[in-house]
Amino acid sequence: MVTLADWIPDPGLRAQAPSGASRLVSADGRQEQEVAGWLAGGPALVTGDNLAVLGQLTEAGYPLVQLIYIDPPYNTGNTFAYEDNRRTSEGSAATPQLRGLARRHTEWVAMMRPRLVAGARLLDRTGVIYASIDHNSVHVLRLLLDEVFGPDNFIAELSVSLNPKGRQLGAFFATSHEYLLVYAKDIRHCTLHPSSTEDVRPSDFPHEDEHGRYRLLPLRNTNKKFNPSTSPTLHYPLYGNAGTGQVSHEHFEGSATITPVFGDGQPAVWRWSAAKVAASRDQLQARVVRGRRGPRVDVYQKDRWSPERTKKMSSVWLSTQVGSTDSAVAELKEELGDVFESPKPVRLLRRILTTMPDDIRVLDFFAGSGTTAVAVETQNAADDGARQYLLVEDVRAPLPGSKAARGGYARVCDVTAARMRKSLQQHRPTEFLRVAELAPLPRPAEEPIEPPAATSKRNRRSM
């Protein structure tokens, strides 16, 4: 069996923070201890290698965050503004298959692992991490997240349809989805609540009366674990008239006696107590059902639709709910220009945000074009939320030929900053973007080196 250990190279490769000690400084000269508090006070961007930045943020006392979103390079081999083709030598893997895997994944794992560890240190125990990834690396990232966060803190592997037409150039299947891996820092304290009003479709409530739309749910408990032996008080007769729909716990003129039964005729139980039926008769309806054993009268609950109704989110997120890669490019074009190859749609990030409380601190340390910042601003404006955010992006020059390079951006983080400022201007024109960077620590003053005393040939040999 292939284990994570096969892919994680020696510790030397893991320590990848850029060489030389550094510290956080703000653009206007604030120093480390002060700068962390200042960054926490409003929308913030830190430029530099995220491994070093996360370490410095922790050391400087940046407050813990409740949501981390990352969209790291997927290791696709494509030309983007940033490196997306990490490959390494085969190492000492035992079989040709393992050698192939090692070549493909080792260096990527070595890049991701310490960054996930550094990110996890900044995550509050109520918090969660969402990681975007595609089929190239989902299996590797899942193992890596299992290792860093613990398999017990795994929450979900969501399928996200970001390319509904499908990639027609692919072999065999037209890939139309990627993944979001979701892990808790500590599942026992996690405040994730993935339900939404958006997922409730009024058309799922096909009936209508003077009080509005509703659907019919059997009042009978359809789970066979619940039956007259396990729940004797819930097995009792009701009285109903299928013509008028009227239901009562007491006999009335024109009513038939209805006892709960499963489709195969076995005795069942109701979901409501007799007292609850007596108090809520107007929410019940008697109807004829045509079961396997012929027609019979059964009792249904009128389950009503309201605009506030929420529904648990499915593990499949559709482009109609989250947008698509095409819509994300169009959004960015509109806001800033065609300056980044792989932005995520703002709606995807907004949907993620709604799964957590509305006053959380959000961290994205593979910020790219800064979609996370735009999503927080837009969502705060929509629901009056008080979310704060900090993004981290590299200072490296965009790769030649990439959209950012052609757009004249000297560094990828300049794209991030430009979009974050635009979004702030639109949503909170009086607020400003706090920007900090990693600056090298001054080297300690060196002792002047005394020239060595002249030594005889004999002395030198004996040294």
Residues of the shown chain interacting with ligand SAM in the complex, contacts defined by CB under 6 A: 49-50, 71-73, 81-82, 340, 342-344, 366, 368-369, 371, 392-394, 412
- Using the minimum distance from each CB to ligand SAM, give the nearer residue, 50 or 126: 50
CA gyration radius, the chain: 30
Residue 330 CB, nearest distance to ligand SAM (Å)? 13
- Using the minimum distance from each CB to ligand SAM, give the nearer residue, 288 or 410: 410
- Using the minimum distance from each CB to ligand SAM, give the nearer residue, 6 or 414: 414
Contact 244, 285 (CB under 8 A): no
Residue 53 CB, nearest distance to ligand SAM (Å)? 7
Q: How far apart are CA 14 and CA 225, in angstroms?
A: 52
Residue 41 CB, nearest distance to ligand SAM (Å)? 23
Residue 130 CB, nearest distance to ligand SAM (Å)? 11
Q: How far apart are CA 43 and CA 378, in angstroms?
A: 13
Q: Which residue is nearest to ligand SAM (CB)?
A: 368
Could you give the C-alpha distances from 251 to 239, 278, 280, 301, in angstroms and in order? Answer: 6, 12, 16, 19
Q: Tell whether the torsion through CA atoms of 46, 47, 49 and 50 is positive or negative.
A: positive
- Using the minimum distance from each CB to ligand SAM, give the nearer residue, 185 or 344: 344
Residue 78 CB, nearest distance to ligand SAM (Å)? 10
Could you give the C-alpha distances from 54 to 13, 46, 437, 460, in angstroms and in order? Answer: 18, 10, 12, 49
Among 45, 33, 32, which Cα is nearest to 363's?
A: 45
Tokens of 413: 């983080």
| DSSP letter string, 127-152 | EEEEEEE-TTTHHHHHHHHHHHH-GG
- Using the minimum distance from each CB to ligand SAM, give the nearer residue, 182 or 392: 392
Residue 404 CB, nearest distance to ligand SAM (Å)? 9
- Using the minimum distance from each CB to ligand SAM, give the nearer residue, 234 or 373: 373
Q: How far apart are CA 270 and CA 260, in angstroms?
A: 6
Residue 211 CB, nearest distance to ligand SAM (Å)? 44
Residue 195 CB, nearest distance to ligand SAM (Å)? 25
- Using the minimum distance from each CB to ligand SAM, give the nearer residue, 284 or 367: 367
For residue 327, count CB atoms less than 10 angstroms from its CB and return exposed for 0-12, middle for 13-18, buried for 19 or more.
middle
- Using the minimum distance from each CB to ligand SAM, give the nearer residue, 82 or 179: 82
Contact 283, 246 (CB under 8 A): no
Strand partners, 160: 178, 317
- Using the minimum distance from each CB to ligand SAM, give the nearer residue, 227 or 369: 369
Alpha helices in 284-365 (DSSP H): 319-322, 325-335, 346-353
Residue 368 CB, nearest distance to ligand SAM (Å)? 2
Could you give the C-alpha distances from 308 to 202, 314, 387, in angstroms and in order? Answer: 11, 18, 22
